[in-house]
Amino acid sequence: MTKTAKQKQSNISSFPAENKDAAAEHTFCGPHMKLPPMPVAEDVPLADRMLHAGMSKISGLSPTSLGLAYADWLTHLALSPGRQAELARSAADRAALFASFIRCQISGHDHAECCAEPLPQDHRFKGEDWDEWPYSLYKQAYLLTEQWWQEATDVRGVTRHHEAVLPFMARQMLDMFSPLNFPLTNPHVVKATTEQGGFNFFRGAQNFMDDWMQQITGQQAAGMEDYKVGENIAVTKGKVVYQNRLIELIQYAPATKEVYAEPVLITPAWIMKYYILDLSPENSLVKYLVDQGHTVFMISWNNPGAEERDLGFEDYLELGIMEALKAIKTIVPDQKVHLAGYCLGGTLAAIAAAALARDDGDSLKSLTLFTTQVDFEEAGELSMFTDESQLAWLEDTMWEKGYLSGKHMAGTFQMLRSRDLIWSRAVENYMLGERRPPNDLMAWNADVTRMPYKMHSEYLRSLFLNNDLAEGRFAIEGKPVALTDIRVPVFAVSTQRDHVAPWRSVYKIHLFADTDVTFALASGGHNAGIVSEPGHPRRTYQIATQKNADKFTPPDEWCAETPSHDGSWWLEWQKWLAGHSGDKVKPPSMGAAKKGYKPLRDAPGDYVLMK
């Protein structure tokens, strides 16, 4: 059976409704089958909402969700005497190793073999100071405890979701009590204090007060004032040529005498400001494309407030991508469009491509996806915050204001990388009294956005929780969309250290798009791996194309077989775009004033400046 046939069979088998009432309402034999709209909880007692909204100001995590994970683990462990015995034996073995290590240290064996080593991605214990007495003891005690808890949270019978939640929460607690976080147990802090006579703590106190004032006043963090949107970041020349309540559409000015005939439309995620793709001139993907002769359009999302609380996922599709495509086809008539999307903007772009293929099939030239998932079965660490209890908690949090604040989202991402973004930074800023000089990517990361109540609830339930898109239940205008309808060539980019959209999950696009797929795996993380301009030091990538008729290659096999190249994947993507474009032509006009798309203002526009 071919990949297409298998996928279509998979879609059909997963299509029936999951409850009896829904199954009674829908038939499966006609072309006009309708699916129910994506649900958003409305009939909830006011007292419940108010309680949850108030408690969420203390913790954004549902205590019920965490309690269920703990109870699941504890009850299975209590009924597993064999596993208890194994863990007790493991604890005794580690205690014996630690005692042996202490004896070696006391006896003067300076190069005593360590009984535990940090994981390769754990850089907290770098430096020879951590191998000196007594800091070596603190390090070993902590690492052995961490290893034991990793083992202890692995208990047979615990649900798959809770299997992910328990190690994460254990790691959060252990990170809090790491010897790095206390002045007397961190050799770098002790050394700095001795050498500087305690002035590191004086500077740290100043840093703490600056950060505290910044939090309560809403001011920019120190150094961020050096990066201003429209002045030294997001400065590629262009015009806003269309605007509605949700988007501004930016058309960038040509930089070459001739351009490729087909324009490029980029759709960023609505949880970020678009200018991550147009940072400083030297690392702007937009500028790079324009300099190579592409006509580039960019969607800039509005930063929604309470008045947008009822905007849903379909509104983002219709008022976003579809309206943008309509404008582009007017400004650049008789040409198909290269559609590109970043993160959740890529998921939206894939849905748009599938809906267009279902309804007319002749609008797009290609589809490009940056760190984009279409199957959320293995959605990375964010899936730990996605269960029915957590979503109910989150909905009540958003219900109070009509949106989810950017600070709430930022806090969630900080938890995912608490070692680097919370504890290590606290040690650096407040104990060592040092400040990292900010850069344009840090300034962008601090420029947070909000998400409207209805849309955020819909996409979390439909995509993350129910995985409706991959399983053939995701509906647009009441009819399901199938990614197998996409026939245009696909270019997908993922990054090696992506904790938001793991590359093996992104790689699953091979299973869904019934077309040629070019997949690139770049070094770096979710954001830094995408902002990877030519000339950026220590950048590598792997790339290969799977033709529609080729057999599927598993991701780890693909990674082992595909050669690695030094440099930026941008060059490969531009070459791919050029290869799927027609001849070069005279640049189109900026907007189309006579057809209703008069240039409104200079880029970067107004929406990106909204706080």
3-state secondary structure 344-379: HHHHHHHHHHHHHHHHCCCCEEEEEEECCCCCCCCC
- The structural domains of the chain, with segments of one domain joined by +, span 63-194, 238-377+467-609
- Measured CA to CA in angstroms, residue 46 lies from 52, 177, 287, 322, 397 at distances of 10, 39, 50, 37, 12
CA nearest neighbour of 114 among 140, 91, 138, 132: 140
Looking at residue 41, what DSSP letter applies?
A: -
10 Å CB burial of residue 480 (0-12, 13-18, 19+) is buried
User: Which is nearest to 586 in space by CA: 277, 378, 293, 329?
Assistant: 293
Q: Which are the catalytic amino acids?
A: 343
Only one residue has tokens 């500077």, namely: 203
Note the pLDDT tens digit of each residue in 419-449.
777 888 899 999 999 988 888 998 898 888 8
Residue 86 pLDDT: 96
Q: What's residue 394's pLDDT? A: 81
The DSSP element (H or E) to which 291 belongs, if any, is: helix 285-291
CATH topology classification for 238-377+467-609 = Rossmann fold (3.40.50)
Quote the pLDDT of residue 370: 97
How confident is the model over 46-66, as a mean pLDDT?
Answer: 73
Q: For the residues 304-318, what does the mean pLDDT come to?
A: 92
Lowest mean pLDDT among 5-9, 132-136, 586-590: 5-9
Q: How many CB atoms lie within 10 A of CB 84?
A: 14
**Model pTM score:** 0.85
Q: Tell me the average pLDDT of the chain.
A: 86
Buried b (16+ CB within 10 A) or exposed e, 387-406: bebbbbbbbbbbbbebbbbb
| Least confident residue range of 160-169, 251-260, 325-334, 581-590 | 160-169
Prior bond of 333 cis (ω within 30°): no
pLDDT in tens, 76-129: 999 999 999 999 999 999 999 898 888 888 876 655 566 788 877 788 888 888
Cis peptide before 134 (omega within 30 of 0): yes
Indicate if the pLDDT at residue 194 is higher than 60: yes
Tell me the backbone φ, ψ of residue 494, rounded to 5 degrees.
-135, 175
Structural tokens at position 185: 């147990």
